């Protein structure tokens, strides 16, 4: 199983300068190859006798001319331009397979990264050896053991990180506590409501830092483009965005770790997040919750602990169905947080009722999977355990599972 561990680097000024040069070299090679690809493809369309471009031909072409035309490329590791062209080839493969959009040119500051093959670096404890640079300190040691596949050094909000991909046996954690199944209802006022009555409000990082975010955004817009003051303002804004993302991910990690530690079977709903973002009154709050990231973390953490996540069908009426008798309402508006079942008279909380229904759905689907046909309320989807990212207190500096 391929597992990525993203770790913060602690470089000095010389090492940070080398990283910037290597990232610039990778970006230049990618953009050069993309321009050549477009030019050669247009020439092939005009004259079919001319060969079509490929990542292999472009790699050989760059190697033949870089010593004369681009001698500064030799100052950094050879993997920087080579891996950039390989990544461009994969981007075109995804484009022709209709899995991605047409490749775009990389921009400075937005795409500062370069990749290394496993024979060009090595990790020992809390340090990594980079070609033509030497040892660079890591903020923590590599957590996984196995065959190292590759590494990608990137810059985010002024900090450098390395993402190391390891081919390791299936990651296993201590099994979940024997607390049975649980249903998780996701919402805006409260991030998650469990079927046992527990309520998690969520970090709501964007809401808490929105005033500061607006102030820094105005500061950037008022600076002259290309000036040093604008670059400083952009760096401050980027650091705030990174802080918001870190706070959101940390809250999600704490919640998902708590759920997967205690419960073996977890029932959640398949939310149409893209459609929900169309509501202009709730779109900011919905985006601030991170529903997709919560589901992703639940899936791989439950897999590591031997549990499972059961996803209900998108049209499953978890909120409108009475968890006591099964009566289903025709309509239930968003402002109705509590309602009384007209059939059995039970007084229901909207979120808790939905979580209980999701729990019952997860238990019934698990039972039918073992002994009979399902009821059609569960969306069958195999868990994809890798690649995944570990729990983190920052974008890449990962904390222990806790």
Cβ atoms within 10 Å, residue 332: 14
Cβ atoms within 10 Å, residue 375: 11
List the catalytic residue out of 49, 68, 124, 185: 185
The model's pLDDT over 242-254, given as tens digits with 9 standing for 90+, comes to: 999 999 999 999 9
In the β-sheet with 265-269, what is the strand arrangement from edge to edge?
199-200, 192-194, 181-186, 265-269, 308-312
The low-confidence residues of the chain, meaning pLDDT below 50, are: 372-376, 380-402
335 catalytic per annotation = no
Q: Looking at residue 381, what is its pLDDT?
A: 46
Instruction: Confirm if 86 and 78 have CB atoms less than 8 A apart.
Output: no
Distance of CA 226 to the CA centre of its chain: 31
Q: Which conformational region is residue 345 in: left (phi greater than 0), alpha (psi within -120 to 50 degrees), or beta?
A: left
Task: Report d(CA 20, CA 80) in Å as an integer.
Answer: 11
List the catalytic residue out of 49, 112, 235, 351: 351
Instruction: Confirm if 304 and 385 have CB atoms less than 8 A apart.
Output: yes
Neighbouring residues of 133: CB distance < 8 A, sequence distance ≥ 6:
15, 18, 77
Q: Looking at residue 214, what is its pLDDT?
A: 96
185 catalytic per annotation = yes
The model's pLDDT over 335-380, given as tens digits with 9 standing for 90+, comes to: 888 888 888 888 888 889 999 999 998 888 776 655 544 444 555 4
User: Can you give the pTM of this predicted structure?
Assistant: 0.81
Task: Report d(CA 373, CA 352) in Å as an integer.
Answer: 28
Q: Looking at residue 370, what is its pLDDT?
A: 56
List the catalytic residue out of 177, 198, 250, 269: 269
Instruction: Confirm if 185 and 355 have CB atoms less than 8 A apart.
Output: yes
Task: Report d(CA 141, CA 30) in Å as an integer.
Answer: 31
DSSP characters for 139-202? SS-----SEEEEEEEEEETTEEEEEEEEE-SPP--PPPPS--EEEEEE-SSSSEEETTS-EE--
Which contacts qualify for 340-345: CB closer than 8 Å, 24 or more apart? Answer: none
Q: Looking at residue 368, what is its pLDDT?
A: 61
The model's pLDDT over 65-76, given as tens digits with 9 standing for 90+, comes to: 999 999 999 999
């Amino acid at each position: 199983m391929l597992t990525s561990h993203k770790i913060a680097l602690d470089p000095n000024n010389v090492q940070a300068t080398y990283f910037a040069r290597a990232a610039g070299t990778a970006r230049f090679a990618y953009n050069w190859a993309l321009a050549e690809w477009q030019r050669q493809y247009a020439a092939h369309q005009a004259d079919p006798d001319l060969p079509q471009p490929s990542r292999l031909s472009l790699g050989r072409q760059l190697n033949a001319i870089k010593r004369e035309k681009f001698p500064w490329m030799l100052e950094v590791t050879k993997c920087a331009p080579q891996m950039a062209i390989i990544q461009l080839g994969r981007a075109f493969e995804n484009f022709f397979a209709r899995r991605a959009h047409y490749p775009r040119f990389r921009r400075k500051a937005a795409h500062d990264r370069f990749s290394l093959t496993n024979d060009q670096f090595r990790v020992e404890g809390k340090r990594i050896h980079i070609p033509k640079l030497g040892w660079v300190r890591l903020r923590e040691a590599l957590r996984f053991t196995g065959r190292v596949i590759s590494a990608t050094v990137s810059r985010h909000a002024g900090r450098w990180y390395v993402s190391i991909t390891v081919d390791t046996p299936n990651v296993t954690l201590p099994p979940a506590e024997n607390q049975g199944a649980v249903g998780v209802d996701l919402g805006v006022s409260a991030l998650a409501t469990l079927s046992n009555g527990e309520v998690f409000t969520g970090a709501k990082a964007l809401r808490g830092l929105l005033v500061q975010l607006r102030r820094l955004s105005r500061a950037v817009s008022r600076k002259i483009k290309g000036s040093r003051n604008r670059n400083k303002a952009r760096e401050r804004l980027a650091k705030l965005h990174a802080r918001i993302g870190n706070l959101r991910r940390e809250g999600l990690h704490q919640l998902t770790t708590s759920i997967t530690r205690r419960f073996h079977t977890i029932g959640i709903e398949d939310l149409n997040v893209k459609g929900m973002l169309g509501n202009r009154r709730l779109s900011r709050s919905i985006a601030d919750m991170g529903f997709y990231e919560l589901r992703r973390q639940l899936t791989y953490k439950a897999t590591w602990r031997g549990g499972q996540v059961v996803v209900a069908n998108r049209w499953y009426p978890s909120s409108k169905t009475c968890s006591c008798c099964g009566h289903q309402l025709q309509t239930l508006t968003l402002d109705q947080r509590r309602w009384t079942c007209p059939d059995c008279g039970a007084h229901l909380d909207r979120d808790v009722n939905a979580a209980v229904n999701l729990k019952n759905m997860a238990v019934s689907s698990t039972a039918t999977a073992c002994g009979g046909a399902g009821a059609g309320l569960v969306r069958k989807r195999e868990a994809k355990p890798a690649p995944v990212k570990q729990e983190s207190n920052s974008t890449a500096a990962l904390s222990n599972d806790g």
